[in-house]
Amino acid sequence: MLVTQIIALIALAICFVLLLSHFIRIIRLGKPKDFSEKSGSVAKGVAYSNTVAMMPQNKESAYLHIPSYALGILFHIGIFTSILVFFLSFFDFFNQWLCNDSCIHYLIPLVSATGTVSGICLFIKRLINRNLRNLTNPDDYLSNGFTTLFQLATTLYLLMPACLCMVNTYYIITAILLLYMPVGKLKHLVYFFSARYHLGFFYGWRNVWPQKKDAE
């Protein structure tokens, strides 16, 4: 095992422990307290919050900004694919598979490369759009930059698995991302689900969600 692989695994362990602490903190907060009279179903509200309410036609931030929404989807697909590649990279069968010439061998780098381009486009949009730029803080730039760089490194690693320099660079970049994840806005991967639950609880309790036209 390479030294850089060990560093990446240590970073992964630190990331896991810190994210777990965030999760435990959420659990300790308990269920939301609502002193209004209950008139709906919390379970149905939470289910709606994580399904129908997430559809682009039900989100102003999506249907009013279709190009950015599409880029965001491609960006996240690239991230999840790259994370999967990281875990698989520690198994011999995956590294042997990388040396085989097949259509799938080029498909995965294409996904991560598409995510890289999407991340760059979103980064540029933040720079040139005055309204977005005024709302952006350093964490936004760093989070976008690290995840985009991670996907770029993943793409190059997949295309050049025999290049030791590229392999080492890939694991170092991954380690940096993992160490930053629990302290920056990337930790929303934990808080996202909590936020959707609380939103579903709030509107489900008040019988606002599911919306009547969708429930019929």
Tell whether pTM > 0.95: no
Work out the average pLDDT over 177-191: 92
pLDDT for the residue 189: 81
CA dist 178 and 9 (Å) reads: 9
pLDDT at 36 over 90: no
CA angle 135, 137, 140 (to 5 degrees): 100
Q: Which is it for the CA torsion 5, 143, 30, 59, positive or negative?
A: negative
Q: Is the dihedral of CA 4, 149, 114, 139 positive or negative?
A: positive
Average pLDDT over residues 131-160: 96
Q: How many of the other CB atoms lie within 10 Å of CB of 20?
A: 12
What average pLDDT score do residues 180-200 get? 89
pLDDT, tens only, 87-127:
999 998 888 888 776 666 789 999 999 999 999 999 999 99
Residue type, 89: S
Which CATH topology does 3-29+60-186 take? Fumarate Reductase Cytochrome B subunit (1.20.950)
pLDDT of residue 213: 65
Nearest to 147 by CA among 76, 88, 84, 87: 76
Euclidean distance between the first and the last CA atom of the chain, given in angstroms as a whole number: 58
Q: How far apart are CA 69 and CA 89, in angstroms?
A: 30
Judge if the upstream peptide bond of residue 210 is cis by omega within 30 degrees of 0. Answer: yes
- pLDDT score for 27: 87
- Alpha-carbon distance of 169 to 177, in angstroms, equals 12
